[in-house]
């Protein structure tokens, strides 16, 4: 018996050996090895054999022939076959192209949106070294309270004391919009901000005019936005011009800043030096300016720090907290939860900070990302399913190609290439979809995204998603199709069985996703409806409100009296804000419980309770009938009565912690009403009278003609304040805006779940029509033997409907779990009811049934004689 | 004549292929080693055989597979008429040269 060479050497040799020389060389090598063994030891023979293989390697390799698919003729052939197949089965191709294009377009839109959201504050060069100081504590019930407000004296004191802090700026928007005038022209006074002199060197908001260090250095200067400069100082240099503030001061324009990117929490059109607020306070309240600016009492302003180094340790937070607490002459307790230095980049996604405007919702972003992936997945599955189901049409080609010498990898490349060609066509269509949908998307979401494909690597994102989709969708069919054995497929004429477990699994997955999205859409829209329709404890219909500038606030009394004389005006009232948007809170002292605390506060006039129709459950409302009510009467809500006061709340002593306020009493308890959005549970509230802080005027009408009533208000307003246009808003619309995020999510999920089910049904449609086509002979025979149309439709449909039913059942627990998680964000929420599932199930089954039976019905009513004769 | 040039080793391979009835790589190698007592590399034999076949001096056919060869088929080479005539050309050339050498010289070194 001759010795065979060791396996590893023969393997090495056959790996090196060109295929056409394999038999000769490998065979001779076997014999040669036997010869070597005769004359050598085992080891010696192996060594020589290995040396032989090694030294032959370069020449062997150089003789190898490479069959790369780079051959032009083959590529042309592949292209022709691909296009022919697309055209011959145009229906299927369109289903695939439409599905993939819709999936790609939604993915890209959502990618744009996510890019925008996570890019918040990304444009600041110092973004990693900027921190906002957030006073924070844990209340007795365990909830963490955070606020943006710090006192005016805080930031300068800390910057002086801590070497880690390089610069600071305070920031705030004037809530009561002052009157801004350029000569006689009134400027829109929304978004007038206060900032310190380092504001523009901390934040990267570019100055078009003016010097970064100097624009806010002088008192009574103002920096304006490029838009304001264009609108009100066209064709002239705004620098040095003056803007009049509340008919009291002239502010000199020292700079113009470029518009702030929309993904920033900073939003202002004008900025004045922070000291200005000191002047306003001094003139309006006779409070010394310097004392106010260094005060540690008036918690109304955000503080931002630029740190020396980007990394801020918790230890620095603790030291600042300690020093700040001790400055306020309080005892610092290191064990309780302390204040927080919030990194600038976290501002957008941190929720629940009081004083922050609507911020980003990381959950929504996650939801949208998942939806995008879902839709693309459904489209990919469609492709996979249709491609494998229609394998019959291609097996002959595969067989012939293999007989002609095609290798498996070549076929895989061919089919993958076809998928990528299809995806490329889809990409072109998806760009059309994107262009059509983007403006709608922007409109509904209140965004200004642009599809500029050549910026921010957008084209890379789009092509990347496309390529990935092509590969994901095509890889299984490519391997499936190229694995057919030519001997089987060429012999059998009837073609391949269309049963496939994978296909069934994919259908179940697709419809689970669709069902999940439908249930999600129902829950989200129900929750939004619930929030918009829940009784809030006050009237919101037929109420308009507006905030007159402080210069004319003293004339509001006359205006009110005049309006009250009309029969169609139910009530006119002034308050520090409208219910739903209350954010004010003051520090109160209640001697009975010996504690000072911050309580949400509505400051109102005597008509407030009646105008808003708020119910009094105990005691009485504040009223002009009691002379002392203007300074000593307080109302609290039920929650405050329950949480803060032990005994009978009426008659309890209470006062605002400030020298200007006398000790007063609780005169009445009002029924809880939602003075904040329904995201938050009702907290204790104090309602009190104070003529100095009531900037907002609300007018309530009766049922009569609204246009007439509005004209009436305009007319009366013109009489008292002729140069101030009346900018009023409807309360019910404003309240709806509170739930804009939910409204957006609801719309988006609704749209996408519709898209998901359309794409899934297209796939189902393709599959049923294919299966029906395959079984048409069987259907003919069944009809001849007396089967009814219904029986045939049921026969064809039941397989698919079983899968859809299974998918629906699977989606229920998943959606219950996910939607319950989503609902935890809301203090007031709906219960997930079985009705939602019944509704979703009905929708799903009806649509799927329609899709399936359309095909099977048309097959069932066919004349069997025609089918059978073929 | 460039394309039909035969090197010394190629000539020996071609001759051996003509001598052996069933000429394949290993058999040729063994025959040469036997006759010349010089060490021959198998891969050198293979590449010569391929070259000769490409030039048209040899033709080949696939043989049977044997377990000795690990189930691989042999490739038998046989000389073509063109190969024969090339060998004859060389032989004639050499004979001509031999006959032109003066007999005295040969005697002197090969008594």
Distance CA B12, CA B30 (A): 13
Q: Measured between CB atoms, does B70 come within 8 Å of chain A? A: yes
Tell whether B69 is within 8 A of chain A (Cβ).
yes
Q: Using a CB–CB cutoff of 8 Å, tell me whether B39 touches chain A.
A: no
Chain A residues with CB-CB distance to B65 below 8 A:
23, 27
> CB A27 to CB B74 under 8 A?
yes
Provide mean pLDDT across the span A334-354: 84
Residue A294, SS3 per DSSP: coil
Contact A201/A167 with Cβ under 8 angstroms? Answer: yes
Phi-psi region of A354 (alpha: psi -120 to 50; beta: other; left: phi over 0): beta
What is the spatial distance between Cα B58 and Cα A517, in angstroms, rounded to a whole number?
74
The residue of chain B with its CA nearest to that of A22 is B72
Contact A415, A484 (CB under 8 A): no
CA A116 to CA A449: how far, in whole Å?
A: 8
Asked if A190 is an interface residue toward chain B (Cβ–Cβ < 8 A), one would say no
Q: What letter does residue A676 receive in the DSSP assignment?
A: S
Per-residue pLDDT tens digits for A9-43: 888 888 787 777 777 888 888 888 888 888 788 88
A265 with A348: CB under 8 angstroms? yes
Asked whether the beta carbons of residue B72 and residue A22 sit closer than 8 angstroms, the reply is yes
Query: How close B2 comes to chain A (CA, Å)?
Result: 23
pLDDT digits (tens, 9 = 90+) for A696-710: 899 999 888 889 889
Gap between the Cα atoms of A103 and A760, Å rounded: 11
pLDDT category, A71, cuts 50, 70, 90?
Answer: low
Which tens digits make up the pLDDT trace of A790-817? 888 888 888 888 999 999 999 999 999 9
- CB B96 within 8 Å of CB B16: no
Angle at the Cα of A758 from the Cα atoms of A754 and A763, rounded to 5 degrees: 150
Cβ distance A55 to B43 less than 8 Å, yes or no, reads: yes
The string of pLDDT tens digits covering residues A720-737 is 888 777 888 899 888 888
Res A453 pLDDT > 80? no
Averaged pLDDT for residues A400-422: 88
**Of residues A424, A433, A857, A35, the one with CA closest to residue B45:** A35
When scoring B13, B28, B42 by the number of chain A Cβ atoms within 10 A, the one with the most, hence best to mutate, is: B42
User: DSSP label at A554?
Assistant: G
Q: CA B71 → CA A8, A14, A299, B67, distances in Å? A: 17, 13, 92, 5
Residue A364 phi/psi, 5° resolution?
-60, -40
Asked which of A94-98, A595-599, A769-773 is least confident by mean pLDDT, the reply is: A595-599
- Within an 8 Å CB–CB cutoff, is residue B25 touching chain A? yes
Neighbour count for residue A246 (Cβ, 10 Å): 19
Task: Write the ipTM.
Answer: 0.78
Whether pLDDT at A711 is above 80:
yes
Reported as half-sphere exposure (CB side, CA atoms, 13 A), residue A553 has a value of 20
Which pLDDT does position A69 carry in this prediction? 53
| Per-residue confidence (pLDDT) for residue A255, from 0 to 100 | 92
| A91 in contact with chain B, both atoms CB, cutoff 8 A | no
More confident residue, A492 or A238: A238
Question: Which pLDDT does position A15 carry in this prediction?
Answer: 79
More confident call, B98 vs A175 = B98
Query: Mutate which of A23, A39, A48, A59 to test chain B, going by most B C-beta atoms within 10 A?
Result: A23
Question: For residue range A485-507, what is the model confidence (pLDDT) as tens digits?
Answer: 888 777 765 545 545 788 889 99
> Which chain A residues touch B47 with a CB distance below 8 Å?
59
Q: What is the pLDDT of residue A156?
A: 92
Residues of A in contact with B70 (CB under 8 A): 4-5, 10, 26-27, 30
Nearest CA in chain B to A26: B72
CA-wise closest residue to A801 among A846, A754, A744, A735: A846
pLDDT, residue B2, reads 45
Strand partners of residue A305: A131, A168
Neighbours of A659 (CB within 10 A): 6
- Number of cross-chain residue pairs from A and B with Cβ atoms under 8 Å apart: 60
In 3D space, the residue among A664, A669, A661 whose CA is nearest the CA of residue A653 turns out to be A664
Q: Which domains does chain B have, with CATH numbers?
A: 2-109 (1.10.10.10)
| Confidence band, pLDDT 50/70/90 cuts, at residue B1 | very low
Cβ-defined contact of A24 to B26 (cutoff 8 Å): no
Q: Judge: B72–A35 Cβ closer than 8 Å, yes or no.
A: no
Buried b (16+ CB within 10 A) or exposed e, A36-74: bbeeeeeeebbebbbebbeebbeebeeeeeeeebeeeeb
Q: Could you tell me what percent of chain A has a pLDDT over 70?
A: 96
Interchain contact, A59 vs B47, CB within 8 Å = yes
Say whether residue A47 is in contact with chain B using an 8 A CB cutoff. no
Could you tell me which of A29, A35, A37, A30 has the C-alpha nearest to residue A55? Answer: A29
CA-to-CA distance for A617 and A650, rounded, in angstroms? 11
């Amino acid at each position: 018996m001759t010795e065979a060479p060791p396996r590893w050497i023969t393997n090495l040799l056959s790996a090196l050996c060109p295929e056409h020389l394999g038999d000769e060389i490998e065979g001779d090598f076997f014999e040669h090895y036997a010869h070597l063994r005769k004359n050598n030891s085992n080891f010696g023979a192996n060594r020589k054999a290995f040396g032989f293989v090694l030294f032959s390697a370069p020449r062997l390799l150089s003789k190898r022939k490479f069959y790369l698919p780079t051959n032009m003729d083959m590529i042309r052939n592949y292209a022709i076959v691909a296009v022919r197949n697309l055209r011959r089965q145009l229906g299927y191709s369109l289903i695939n192209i439409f599905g993939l294009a819709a999936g790609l377009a939604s993915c890209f839109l959502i990618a744009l949106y996510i890019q925008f959201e996570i890019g918040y504050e990304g444009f600041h060069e110092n973004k990693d070294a900027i921190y906002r100081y957030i006073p924070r504590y844990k209340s007795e019930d365990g909830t963490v309270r955070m606020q943006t407000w710090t006192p005016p004296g805080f930031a300068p004191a800390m910057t002086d004391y801590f070497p880690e802090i390089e610069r600071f700026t305070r920031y705030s928007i004037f809530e009561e919009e002052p009157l801004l005038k350029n000569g006689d022209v009134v400027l829109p006074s929304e978004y007038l901000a206060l900032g310190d002199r380092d504001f523009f060197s901390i934040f990267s908001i570019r100055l078009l005019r003016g010097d970064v260090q100097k624009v806010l250095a002088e008192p009574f200067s103002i920096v304006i936005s490029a838009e304001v400069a264009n609108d009100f100082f066209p064709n002239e240099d705004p620098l040095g011009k003056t803007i009049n503030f509340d008919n009291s001061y002239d502010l000199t324009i020292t700079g113009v800043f470029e518009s702030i990117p929309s993904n920033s929490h900073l939003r202002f059109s004008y900025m004045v030096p922070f000291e200005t607020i000191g002047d306003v306070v001094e003139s309006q309240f006779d409070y010394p300016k310097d004392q106010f600016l260094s005060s540690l009492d008036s918690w109304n302003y955000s503080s931002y720090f630029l740190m020396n180094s980007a990394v801020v340790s918790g230890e620095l937070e603790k030291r600042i907290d300690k020093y700040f607490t001790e400055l306020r002459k309080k005892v610092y307790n290191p064990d309780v939860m302390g204040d927080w230095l919030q990194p600038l980049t976290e501002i957008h996604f941190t929720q629940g900070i009081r004083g922050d405007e609507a911020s980003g919702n990381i959950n929504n972003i996650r939801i949208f990302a998942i939806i995008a992936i879902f839709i693309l997945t459904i489209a990919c599955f469609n492709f996979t399913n249709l491609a494998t189901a229609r394998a019959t049409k291609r097996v002959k080609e595969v067989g012939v190609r293999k007989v002609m010498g095609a290798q498996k990898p070549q076929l895989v490349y061919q089919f993958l290439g076809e998928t990528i060609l299809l995806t490329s066509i889809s990409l072109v269509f998806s760009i059309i979809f994107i262009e059509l949908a983007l403006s709608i998307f922007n409109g509904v979401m209140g965004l200004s995204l642009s599809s500029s494909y050549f910026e921010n690597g957008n084209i890379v994102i789009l092509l990347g998603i496309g390529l990935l989709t092509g590969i994901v969708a095509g890889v299984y069919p490519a391997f499936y199709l190229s694995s057919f054995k030519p001997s089987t497929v060429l012999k059998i004429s009837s073609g391949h069985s269309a049963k496939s477990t994978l296909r069934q699994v994919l259908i179940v997955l697709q419809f689970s996703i669709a069902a999940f999205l439908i249930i999600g859409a129902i829950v989200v829209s129900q929750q939004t409806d619930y929030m918009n329709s829940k009784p809030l404890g006050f009237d919101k219909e037929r109420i308009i409100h507006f905030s007159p500038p402080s210069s004319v606030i003293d004339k509001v009394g006359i205006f009110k009296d005049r309006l009250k004389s009309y029969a169609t005006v139910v009530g006119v009232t002034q308050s520090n804000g409208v219910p739903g948007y209350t954010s004010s809170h003051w520090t109160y002292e209640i001697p009975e419980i010996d504690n000072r605390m911050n309580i949400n506060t509505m400051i109102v006039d005597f008509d407030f309770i009646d105008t808003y129709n708020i119910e009094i459950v105990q005691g009485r409302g504040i009223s002009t009938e009691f002379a002392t009510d203007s300074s000593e009467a307080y109302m609290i809500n039920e929650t405050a009565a329950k949480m803060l006061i032990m005994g009978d709340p009426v008659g309890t002593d209470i006062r605002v912690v400030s020298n200007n306020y006398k000790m007063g009493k609780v005169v009445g308890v009002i029924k809880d009403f939602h003075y904040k959005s329904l995201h938050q549970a009702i907290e204790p509230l104090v309602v009190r009278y104070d003529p100095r802080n009531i900037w907002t005027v609300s007018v309530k009408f009766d049922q009569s003609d609204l246009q007439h009533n509005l004209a009436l208000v305009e007319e009366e307003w013109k009489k008292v304040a002729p140069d101030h246009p009346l900018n009023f808003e409807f309360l019910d619309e404003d309240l709806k805006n509170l739930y804009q995020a939910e409204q957006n999510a609801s719309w988006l999920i609704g749209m996408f779940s519709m898209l998901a089910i359309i794409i899934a049904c297209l796939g189902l449609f393709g599959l049923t029509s294919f299966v029906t086509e395959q079984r048409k002979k069987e259907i003919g025979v069944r009809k001849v033997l007396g089967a009814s149309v219904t029986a045939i439709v049921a026969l064809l449909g039941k397989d698919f409907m079983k899968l859809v039913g299974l998918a629906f059942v699977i989606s229920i627990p998943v959606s219950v779990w996910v939607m319950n998680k989503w609902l935890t964000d809301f203090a007031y929420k709906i219960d997930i009811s079985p009705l939602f599932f019944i509704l979703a199930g009905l929708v799903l089954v009806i649509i799927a049934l329609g899709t399936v039976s359309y095909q099977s019905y048309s097959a069932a009513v066919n004349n069997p004689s025609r089918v059978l004769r073929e | 004549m460039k394309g039909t040039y035969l090197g010394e080793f190629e000539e020996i391979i071609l001759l051996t292929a003509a001598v052996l009835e069933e000429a394949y790589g290993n058999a040729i190698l063994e025959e040469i080693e036997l006759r010349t007592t010089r060490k021959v590399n198998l891969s050198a034999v293979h590449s010569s055989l391929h070259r000769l076949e490409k030039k048209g001096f040899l033709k080949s056919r696939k043989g049977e597979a044997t377990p000795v060869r690990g189930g691989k088929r042999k490739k038998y080479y046989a000389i073509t008429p063109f190969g024969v005539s090339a060998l004859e050309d060389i032989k004639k050339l050499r004979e001509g040269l031999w006959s032109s050498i003066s007999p005295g010289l040969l005697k002197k070194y090969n008594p």
